[in-house]
Structure 1
Amino acid sequence: MNEFVKAAYRDAAANSGGRLYPLPRASLLKSDFSKVFSTHLGHLIGGGRFEAEGLLVTGQSGSGKTTEIRSLIARFNASEAELPNGAHARFAECVLKGIGSWKDLGRSTAQAVGFPIGEKARLTQSEIWDIVVREAKLAGTIGIHFDEAQHIFREKKSADCLAVLDSFKTLMKSHDWPLMLIFSGVPELEGYMKAEPQLHRLLHRVQFNDVSLPDDYKTVHEIVGSYAVRSGVEVDADLMTQDFLDRLVAAGAYRWGVLIDITKRAIAAAQDEGAERLIRDHFTDWWVSKTKTARVATPFTHSDFRSMYRKDHLFLKALDS
């Protein structure tokens, strides 16, 4: 065995890493996507000019947006939906974190559709988008998911933001091959998109809400149980109490994606020590390892965890923030 491989953590990640708990939002996302794609397909069959529509998916960091969207796109691409020209429709993905200028955006988008553009290429903005549309059409790419989309707008002048929005609008309104676009990011992204009304009106909005108690107690309970069973460990009765579920939700800052990740990490900690039963200490152990917080001050141990761990400070005690 390699000295750097912890078998329990490797196996836990392999066993549960690709498994998504079926939250209701996944069905809503799929429904909206299917409506937009079906309309898009109908326009392609009809043969006339049209404007593509898209999705604007927002939620707090750690809410699970990227995971849900990537799962949806993977299933869509695997479904091999047929286009009028006989090609199989597919969606591309482009991460905008770290993207600065319109040229960076253009190169990253071209890369996403399978046509790398060198940094020294002397191309105008219009020429780059023409390449994107051309290569997307040749590949049967009917849309692009732009993840972390808020990053390209932050700390930019209004004129620069409008130039980026105009680029997105150009892709959706292309006369030759309109592209469905999915934008995902934190709630502030909605404000940026509203600055270009023509683009904003083409987008169907999908909001990934936080955990809401007491309504979501049953779902949180099922998440802990289902991931544990999947991993072959029993669940201690203590983890099914309201006290523990409140603490787990607070630890995850009320965000579904973080809550699920904490649960999977605690299960890995249990398996690493060879435990057959998942207990509260495994959640505490992982939290201490992650944050270097004193054991008595974790959300799973402190009596005043609600005020100490706030929704807007993920992994931080209020005293540290």
Structure 2
Amino acid sequence: MTRLDPQVSRRFTKVVPSDLQHGGDEDNLLNLISAYCAKAGIELGVADDLPARLITASRRRFGRAIETTVNAIECALWDGAKTLATDHFAEAWSMQEGCEPHANVFYAADWLSIPLDQGAEQYEAARMKRLLKKLEKV
């Protein structure tokens, strides 16, 4: 709703973070996940490649990575787990994406080859066009 309200658009600047990058954002993402775990009162016990898998699963979007992390922590808490594990990310992502286990970025051995959002390029191009059009009006 706030995105549609002209008063909000006029009064606030929208922040669009840059895409997450493999080889550059894994450590920061892992630190963020660790901080979230500390707030939730659970330990962090994920595989070393989890941040890279999370970047891929989130389509390099920071907000999606946070959403998946929060959902994974919620899965861990619902399970009564004392440690956040890669399986919790797989469960959270599976519920969100509705994918089969072999197509789950957190389970698959060849996770980089899993086609995500096959129609995403057209959607992303249209989204960027709308965003640029809005920025021109400001």
Q: TM-score, normalised by structure 1?
A: 0.34
Q: Residue 45 of structure 2: which of 228, 236, 240 is its match? A: 236
Q: Which position in structure 2 is the counterpart of 1:226?
A: 35
Q: Which position in structure 2 is the counterpart of 1:292?
A: 98
Q: Which position in structure 2 is the counterpart of 1:30?
A: none
Cα RMSD, aligned residues only: 2.6
Q: Which position in structure 2 is the counterpart of 1:145?
A: 8
Q: Is 1:279 matched with 2:85?
A: yes
Q: Residue 307 of structure 1: which of 113, 117, 124 is its match? A: 113
Q: Which position in structure 2 is the counterpart of 1:262?
A: 68
> RCO (CA 8 Å, sep 6+): is it higher in 1 or 2?
1
Q: In the TM superposition, what is the alpha-carbon distance from 1:237 to its structure 2 partner?
A: 4.9
| SS of match in other structure, 2:8 | strand
Q: In the TM superposition, what is the alpha-carbon distance from 1:304 to its structure 2 partner?
A: 2.4
Q: Which position in structure 2 is the counterpart of 1:252?
A: 58
Q: In the TM superposition, what is the alpha-carbon distance from 1:181 to its structure 2 partner?
A: 4.2
Distance in 2, matches of 1:237 and 1:95, equals 35
Q: In the TM superposition, what is the alpha-carbon distance from 1:183 to its structure 2 partner?
A: 5.5
Distance in 2, matches of 1:182 and 1:309, equals 36
Distance in 1, matches of 2:40 and 2:89, equals 15
Distance in 2, matches of 1:274 and 1:220, equals 24
Deviations 1:148-201 (A, max 9, x none): xxxxxxxxxxxxxxxxxxxxxxxxxxxxxxxx64454xxxxxxxxxxxxxxxxx
Q: In the TM superposition, what is the alpha-carbon distance from 1:292 to its structure 2 partner?
A: 2.3
Amino acid aligned to 2:37: A
Structure 2 residue runs without a partner (length 5+): 121-138
Q: Which position in structure 1 is the counterpart of 2:130?
A: none
Q: Which position in structure 2 is the counterpart of 1:216?
A: 25
Higher strand share: 1
2:76/2:83 contact within 8 Å kept? yes
Q: In the TM superposition, what is the alpha-carbon distance from 1:281 to its structure 2 partner?
A: 0.7
Distance in 1, matches of 2:22 and 2:96, equals 26
Structure 1 residue runs without a partner (length 5+): 1-92, 97-107, 110-143, 147-179, 185-205, 314-321
Percent identity (aligned): 24
Give 1 or 2 for the bigger CA radius of gyration.
1
